[in-house]
Amino acid sequence: MNTWNHTNKPDFILLGLTDSKEIQLVLSVLFLLIYMVTVLGNTGMMLIICVDSQLHTPMYFFLIHLSFLDLSYSTAITPKTLENLMTLNKSISFIGCFTQLYIFILLAATECLLLCSMAYDRYIAICKPLHYPIIMSSQCCLVLLTGSYMIGTVDSSVGVLAMNTLHFCKSNVIHHFYCDTSPLLSLSCSDTNVVEIIIFIFAGSTILGSLITISVSYVFILSTIWKINSTSGKQKAFSTCASHLLGVTVFYSSLIFTYLKPSKSYSLGKDQVASVFYTIVIPMLNPLIYSLRNKEVKGAVVRLVKKRQGFRKLNEGKR
């Protein structure tokens, strides 16, 4: 058999989601619309937070970077998926495939840890409000953010380097719409047990570690909210973390379903649906979740609109 790795690089073929041209057309239009909303939503969220001084708080500092991560890893996947759906070119180079895998793991792992940092921020805000300005200082926020990116970089570097040691001989056809670990492992003629264990340890420690931290934070948060006497006080306290809790639930449920299971249980159809959800749909949902359920963001939008109207009236008056 012919084998290849990083020293002998044929192109991979991304088989995509379906062979039906009609379904491909529908999916290409749908994914294009979703991607446009993703770009506009996340870019808009970042601009609103940057422009409005009232949103210059730790929670929105993390939210800017969450929008950046969502926009980035959607961009790492969706444009190539659209190209595959709209054209006959379904190939991706060996280097391009592993670059896509590296970027995706880096951004997804970083997002796990960023969501963990946001949960810690909500824990301090609700459980220790008097100490909040001291604990959640700009230095603390920067350390949490830097640590998230550093751990994400380690996870992606170790995972891709481990994958790069494999030899491939079964086929160059990837039964997926982007380069992911499970479909690539299925093409290898090397013993993948060690690589699978390495990926499982690093991915598992990041996903489960951050999820446990988030869960513990919310146990304390809900316990504190429960002790509040007034109903309005409980609702106000819970509303500050409802958006984050919803975003965490949506993101982690699809991520755990896909990655924290043995490769033998890999199911093409189910895994592709989950992958579409967290690579294409969730980046679009996050800005909607954090804006529609957040009074402060709504208020910032209203202030921005009023400010623009004020400038327009002022310019018209000068004319």
Is the per-residue pLDDT at 170 higher than 60?
A: yes
pLDDT number for residue 135: 94
Name residue 91's beta-bridge partners.
Answer: 13
Interhelix angle for 282-292 vs 21-51, to 10°?
A: 40
User: What string of H, E and C letters represents the secondary structure of 24-89?
Assistant: HHHHHHHHHHHHHHHHHHHHHHHHHHHHCHHHCCHHHHHHHHHHHHHHHHHHHHHHHHHHHHHCCC
pLDDT number for residue 210: 92
* Count of H-run helices and E-run strands, the chain: 11, 3
pLDDT in tens, 185-198: 888 888 888 998 99
pLDDT in tens, 227-267: 888 777 777 777 777 778 888 888 888 777 766 655 555 55
What is the Cα–Cα distance from 253 to 290, expressed in whole angstroms?
Answer: 18
In CATH terms, 12-318 corresponds, of 1.25.40.10, 1.10.10.10, 1.20.1070.10, 3.40.50.300, to: 1.20.1070.10
* Cβ–Cβ < 8 Å for 243, 117: no
pLDDT in tens, 86-120: 887 788 988 899 999 999 999 999 999 999 999 99
What is the Cα–Cα distance from 280 to 74, expressed in whole angstroms?
Answer: 6
